[in-house]
Structure 1
Amino acid sequence: MSFKINNTVTWVGKMDWELRKFHGEEYSTHRGSSYNSYLIKDEKTVLIDTVWQAFTKEFIANLEKEIDLKKIDFIVANHSEIDHSGALPELMRLIPNTPIYCTKTCAKLLKAHYHQDWNFVEVKTGDTLEIGKNKLMFIEAKMLHWPDSMFTYLTGENILFSSDAFGQHFASELMYSDKVDSEGLLYEAMKYYTNILTPFNPLVKKKIEELLSLGLPINMICPGHGIIWRDNPSEIIKTYLEWSKNYKEDQVTIIYDTMWNSTRRMAETIAEGLKEIEANTTIKILSSSKYDKNDIVTEVFKSKAILIGSSTINKGILSSTAAILEMIKGLGFKEKKAAAFGSYGWSGESVRLITEELTKAGLEVVNEGIREEWIPGEAGLDRCRDFGRNFGEKIK
């Protein structure tokens, strides 16, 4: 499959309809994904990125339908990660002397991945490559999301090839932002940002501000994964800027796991009390053992506050709760309030342990949490409602 974006640029990537996990088992891709590769035909011919290694043969065969491989003058590697560079070894076997334009770090990482010393041309922000009527301008984008990442801007056509920035795991034959479900697209873009870019918020903010300051006219943003931004593409750039500023909505997310439903009952009752105080606030209750972990942390990203609960087990916390806490800690959320809750039988360490992890994660823990022994009765549920009311007052 390939399709013309315009008379100069053709998409020659791979649509992966079946993909359901990415980064090993770490990222859920409910809508599949795409590995976007772009062929630019001017007086010179340029290939921007390739596809995941598993699709190498298909990619090469498809590319040969578009062009004699020996007529590719330059290759641009915006990012070395294997989902974008995986077909390079086979491509370079066929056209071994073709220059590869990339950042200095990208060249280093490509050598580390494939142990080949190809014809690398190292570039930095502001460097350009004349290709005929148009030219390419390179913009380093360190930690969006790897240290080697860069953007490539095609003048004349005013297209920004943005690598992983502004991408989403979203497979669609429609391919353009003005043709797909806009709500679903924005959610997948937010999920991608949350799970991939949140730890680098300060760097994202700085780079987006730098990009905007260049004043480049942008007719289209072509990311490394997912849908091409064609309808008012600068809007997603501004949205990234907002997301980079420790984003939050008027939402509280309650995350729990439970053994015999006592902690679940606590979660629901805390929500009742919270709703009395925060009547217009969106409150979501999510089971960490039943709900997708990447979708959970996306809801955390949207939230101004979170509550996390677990039963005590073996003087610890349930494994799904521990996993979510580890993800929250790694993503480095800021300016969010938090507290812990949980049920127990005899030792009751879970609330203390969750509180410690929330503190390590850099969240503002507003109280010492609440724990209830065995199955909470009416008095215990009243305490949970009061806890919810108190939490609501502290997050106003």
Structure 2
Amino acid sequence: MEQLFTEKIHDNLYYIGVNDRITTLFERMWPLPDGVAYNSYLLTGEKSICMDLVKDFTVKDFLSKVDEVLEGKPLDYLVINHVEPDHSSGIDEVLSRYPDLHIVCNKKTVPMLKNYYNIEDNLIVVGDGESLKLGDHEFTFYMTPMVHWPESMVCYEPATKTLFSQDIFGGFGTLNGAIFDDQVKFNDYYHSETTRYFINIVGKYATQALRALKKVGELDIETICPVHGVVWRSNPRFIIDLYTALAEQKTVPGVVIIFGSMYGNTQRMAEAVAKGVAEGGITDIRIHDIANTPQSYLLADTWKYRGVILGSCSYNNNIFPPMSFLMEELHHQKMKNNIWGFFGSYSWSGGAMKRFKAFSDELKLDTLSLQPEIQGAATKEEIEQLKELGRQMARRILEGDEA
């Protein structure tokens, strides 16, 4: 068979995924500057088996790839490891083409298929650790609940040592001609987009992710086929270790400063804090204007850096609304291993520092004691106080490295 649009992974396994260069926000929240891939896989042999589907508006390209591989033969089985619509919404068109298709899923997927697509028939329900033979292929299924939906599972083929991992080990970004880890410069673009994907999509379920990673880490794996990002055939241990480090939130010795400013005064305060951090000996410093930086990147940097400093103006006796939204998301993340700093500003009545204190107290954060609250524009003495906040953060981080 001449392969025009599909990619052979190994004997009887083909990549039939598609690129989405149209969607700009994943889940209508997370920026996709370089799109995203929806990966699907097709196994051939005595029976033809599809591993996960694609988003509805990409299903035409997907079906053309199925046709290329099957060459007129029927599609017998569909394994749904994760029913989120970016991996299942093409199912109506697939079923119209293959009405006798049997769907392999777990018991938590069953009501979701009913609720989303009114599908109740031709279901084969599998449990945790259960093996199932489909033609000349045999698979073992492992439940990975809340990574990142309750019905999530992975599928392992022992004969080829292949793991079909659904969203686990995925990443943002399209696949640009190459699909394998050894065909791309992963440590460049793909590394940052995989990291951001984990933090945005899976991060709040880090505890469950660690349990799932331990489960799949005990398998003898030579190939990992996720539903987003590259296929791992050369060094699958790399992505397992990367996801484990992210789930454990292993921070780096740097500082991210995120500020909210209406007229520039709080921004100048953030610059003073950053100068103090640099004077304290930290070389990896990021500053973000919360009004101009998408939440996706803010969450990624707070997860990454040991030091997190938030600064905000007050707004209607409260905190600057974009900062309030960020704090709500940070609350969901259940972050650990960070050192936190706070500073605030106000014109006639406070609000920002009260919110920062309540946030810190509720989450029992490791917080620096110096928390400047400044009225109007900072004076020379207050600028020095802000710089000292930065120096304190630097000392805490460097002392931790030396311990």
TM interval, shorter chain, is over 0.9
User: Structure 1 vs Structure 2: percent identity of aligned residues?
Assistant: 27
Match in the other structure for 1:128: 131
Of 386-395 and 263-272, the range deviating more from structure 2: 386-395
Q: CA deviation at 1:362?
A: 4.9
Contact kept? 2:194, 2:229, Cα under 8 Å: no
Contact kept? 1:333, 1:363, Cα under 8 Å: no
2:296 maps to 1:310? no
Contact kept? 2:47, 2:136, Cα under 8 Å: no
* Among 226, 230, 233, the residue aligned to 1:223: 226
2:181 maps to 1:177? yes
Match in the other structure for 2:301: 299
Of 158-167 and 96-105, the range deviating more from structure 2: 96-105
Q: CA deviation at 1:38?
A: 0.6
Contact kept? 2:339, 2:393, Cα under 8 Å: no
Match in the other structure for 1:47: 50
Contact kept? 1:42, 1:131, Cα under 8 Å: no
2:374 maps to 1:369? no
Contact kept? 1:248, 1:302, Cα under 8 Å: yes
Match in the other structure for 1:202: 207
Amino acid at match of 2:347: G
Instruction: Call closer, same or farther: CA 1:118–1:281 in 2, change over 3 Å.
Output: farther
1:280-359 → structure 2 map (5 Å cutoff) = 280-359=282-361
The separation in 2 between residues aligned to 1:156 and 1:114, in whole angstroms, is 33
The separation in 2 between residues aligned to 1:17 and 1:2, in whole angstroms, is 18
Amino acid at match of 1:272: K
Contact kept? 2:256, 2:305, Cα under 8 Å: yes
Q: CA deviation at 1:114?
A: 1.1
Q: CA deviation at 1:88?
A: 1.1
Amino acid at match of 1:200: Y
Match in the other structure for 1:260: 263
Amino acid at match of 1:28: P
The separation in 1 between residues aligned to 2:37 and 2:72, in whole angstroms, is 22
Match in the other structure for 1:6: 10
The separation in 1 between residues aligned to 2:325 and 2:107, in whole angstroms, is 35
Match in the other structure for 1:392: 394
The separation in 1 between residues aligned to 2:324 and 2:133, in whole angstroms, is 52
Contact kept? 2:312, 2:319, Cα under 8 Å: yes
Amino acid at match of 1:210: K
The separation in 1 between residues aligned to 2:205 and 2:283, in whole angstroms, is 28
What does the per-residue CA deviation read over 1:195-241, in whole Å, with 9 as the maximum and x for residues that have no partner? Answer: 1111111211122112222x32x221110112112221122112222
Contact kept? 1:332, 1:362, Cα under 8 Å: no
Q: CA deviation at 1:86?
A: 0.8
When normalised by structure 1's length, the TM-score is 0.93
Contact kept? 1:352, 1:368, Cα under 8 Å: no
Of 347-356 and 159-168, the range deviating more from structure 2: 347-356
3-state SS of 1:63 partner: helix
What does the per-residue CA deviation read over 1:2-57, in whole Å, with 9 as the maximum and x for residues that have no partner? Answer: 22222311111211123321102x11112211111111012221011111122233
Query: What is the alpha-carbon root mean square deviation over aligned residues?
Result: 1.9
The separation in 1 between residues aligned to 2:388 and 2:78, in whole angstroms, is 62
Instruction: Call closer, same or farther: CA 1:267–1:69 in 2, change over 3 Å.
Output: farther
What does the per-residue CA deviation read over 1:70-89, in whole Å, with 9 as the maximum and x for residues that have no partner? Answer: 62221100101000011112
Instruction: Call closer, same or farther: CA 1:69–1:335 in 2, change over 3 Å.
Output: farther
Q: CA deviation at 1:267?
A: 0.9
The separation in 1 between residues aligned to 2:296 and 2:346, in whole angstroms, is 27
Q: CA deviation at 1:366?
A: 2.9
The separation in 1 between residues aligned to 2:167 and 2:16, in whole angstroms, is 17
Instruction: Call closer, same or farther: CA 1:162–1:240 in 2, change over 3 Å.
Output: same
Q: How many residues align?
A: 392
Contact kept? 1:333, 1:362, Cα under 8 Å: no
The separation in 1 between residues aligned to 2:13 and 2:372, in whole angstroms, is 59
Instruction: Call closer, same or farther: CA 1:166–1:362 in 2, change over 3 Å.
Output: farther
* Among 32, 37, 40, the residue aligned to 1:37: 40
3-state SS of 2:258 partner: strand
3-state SS of 1:178 partner: helix
3-state SS of 1:311 partner: strand
Contact kept? 2:344, 2:372, Cα under 8 Å: yes
Structure 1 runs (4+) deviating above 4 angstroms are: none
Q: CA deviation at 1:69?
A: 6.8
Of 235-244 and 72-81, the range deviating more from structure 2: 235-244
Match in the other structure for 1:186: 191
3-state SS of 2:182 partner: coil
Match in the other structure for 1:211: 216
Match in the other structure for 2:110: 107
Match in the other structure for 2:383: 381
Q: CA deviation at 1:391?
A: 3.4
What does the per-residue CA deviation read over 1:242-262, in whole Å, with 9 as the maximum and x for residues that have no partner? Answer: 222232111211100111211
Gaps of 5+ in 1: none
* Among 68, 86, 89, the residue aligned to 1:86: 89
Contact kept? 2:74, 2:98, Cα under 8 Å: no
Contact kept? 1:328, 1:361, Cα under 8 Å: no
The separation in 2 between residues aligned to 1:329 and 1:368, in whole angstroms, is 22
